Amino acid sequence: MGKDVIIACDFASREQTLDFLSQFQQEKPFVKIGMELFYALGPDIVHELKQRGHKIFLDLKLHDIPNTVEKAMRVLSQLDVDMCNLHASGTIAMMEAALRGLTRPDGSRPLLIAVTQLTSTSEERMRRDLLIEQPLDTVVMHYASNARSAGLDGVVCSPLEAAKVHEVCGPAFLTVTPGVRFADGDVGDQVRVTTPAQACLLGSDYIVVGRPITAAADAVAAYRRCCAEFIG
Ligand code: C5P
C-alpha cells in the first residue's frame, strides 16, 4: 500500500466542495468526506466525487451494537468508498461485525480503520468522565491492538503515535494521521502537529490534511507541496 495525502473536505455545501475540487486539473486527490457533508447531502455527494475519479475516505465513525453496525456497514459498502471508520471503543465484537457487513459478496471491501481515543479527549477527561484509569497511550495502543485482532486494516492516530502502533500491530497495519501542518504554516486549533515530512519519517501511511490545503491561497500548490514532502 503506497503512502497518500487525503484532503479533508470540511465544507458545508456541494458547491463549495466542487468549486474547491475543480481547481485540481491534473491530479485526483484522495478526499475525506465527514459527517457534516454526508449528513447534509447523503450518498449523492459520494457518488458524484467517485464519478469524478476521487478515492473517498467516508469518515462517519460508527459506534452502536454489533448488529446495527453490521447492517449500516453493508449499506456503506455499496457506496463504493475506499476507506471508512468506526470507534474501537465499540468492542472487538462490534469491529468484527462491521467487517462482515462491509465485505461485499465478491469478497472485496473498503479499508476499515478504527478511531482509538479522539485527540480531543485528554487523559484527565478520560479518567474523570469515562472512568478509564490507564495512561492515554496505553489505552490507544490497546484499542489499536483490539482493532488488529478484529481484522481491521489500521487506526486513525497522531503521527507521533504511528511508530508505536506499527511496533504493536505490525508494519502493514495502517496509520491514518491528521494534525499535519507545514513548518511555516498556521497551527490553528490542532495541538500536537507535525509537518508532512516528519509524518513520513515517523511512519504514517496516510496523512489527512484539511486547512493547510483547503484554506491556502493556492490549494493545488499546497497539495503538491504536501505530496512532495510526504511521498517524495
Ligand atoms: O484542517 P485540519 O488539517 O486540522 O483537518 C484535519 C481533519 O482531520 C479534520 O477533518 C478533523 O476533523 C480530522 N481529525 C482530526 N483529529 C482527529 C481525528 C480526525 O483532526 N483525531
What is the atom index within ligand 1 of the atom nearest the CA of 119? 21
Distance (Å) from CA 48 to ligand 1 centroid: 23
Q: In whole angstroms, what is the distance from residue 211 CA to residue 213 CA?
A: 5
3-state secondary structure of 64: coil
**Amino acid residing at 143:** Y
Distance (Å) from CA 209 to ligand 1 centroid: 7
Query: Which DSSP helix (H) or strand (E) runs through 11?
Result: none
Cβ proximity of 205 and 186 under 8 Å = no
pLDDT of residue 188: 83
Ligand 1 binding pocket, CB closer than 6 Å: 8, 10, 34, 118-119, 156, 178-179, 190, 208-212
Mean pLDDT (the chain, rounded)? 96
Told to judge if 164 belongs to the known catalytic residues of this protein, a careful annotator would answer: no
pLDDT of residue 187: 87
Confidence of residue 129 (pLDDT cuts 50, 70, 90): very high
Note the pLDDT tens digit of each residue in 54-103.
999 999 999 999 999 999 999 999 999 999 999 999 999 999 999 999 99
Per-residue pLDDT at 118 exceeds 70: yes
Per-residue pLDDT at 115 exceeds 80: yes
Q: In whole angstroms, what is the distance from residue 148 CA to residue 111 CA?
A: 13
SS3 string, 180-219, reads ECCCCCCCCCCCCCECHHHHHHHCCCEEEECHHHHCCCCH
Q: In whole angstroms, what is the distance from residue 3 CA to residue 135 CA?
A: 30
Q: In whole angstroms, what is the distance from residue 80 CA to residue 50 CA?
A: 8
**Amino acid residing at 211:** R
Note the pLDDT tens digit of each residue in 185-227.
988 887 778 999 999 999 999 999 999 999 999 999 999 999 9
Cβ proximity of 110 and 83 under 8 Å = yes
> Scanning the structure block, which residue is given the C-alpha cell 479533508?
8
Cα 35 to Cα 107, 157, 191: the distances in Å are 27, 18, 22
Instruction: Give the HSE-up count for residue 111: Cα atoms under 13 Å, Cβ half-sphere.
Output: 21
Distance (Å) from CA 106 to ligand 1 centroid: 33
Confidence of residue 1 (pLDDT cuts 50, 70, 90): low
Note the pLDDT tens digit of each residue in 53-64.
999 999 999 999
pLDDT of residue 191: 79
- Is 20 exposed, middle or buried, given 0-12, 13-18 or 19+ CB atoms closer than 10 A? middle
pLDDT of residue 159: 93
pLDDT of residue 2: 80
Give the global pTM.
Answer: 0.96
> Nine-digit cell at 194?
507535525
pLDDT of residue 121: 87
Residues 6+ positions from 191 with CB-CB distance below 8 Å: 119, 179
* High-pLDDT (> 90) share of the chain, %: 92
Instruction: Please give the domain boundaries of the chain with CATH numbers for all domains.
Output: 4-230 (3.20.20.70)
Note the pLDDT tens digit of each residue in 160-174.
999 999 999 999 999
Q: Which of 3, 50, 55, 61 is catalytic?
A: 61
What are the φ/ψ torsions at residue 61 (nearest 5 degrees)? 45, 65
Closest residue CA from atom 5 of ligand 1: 210
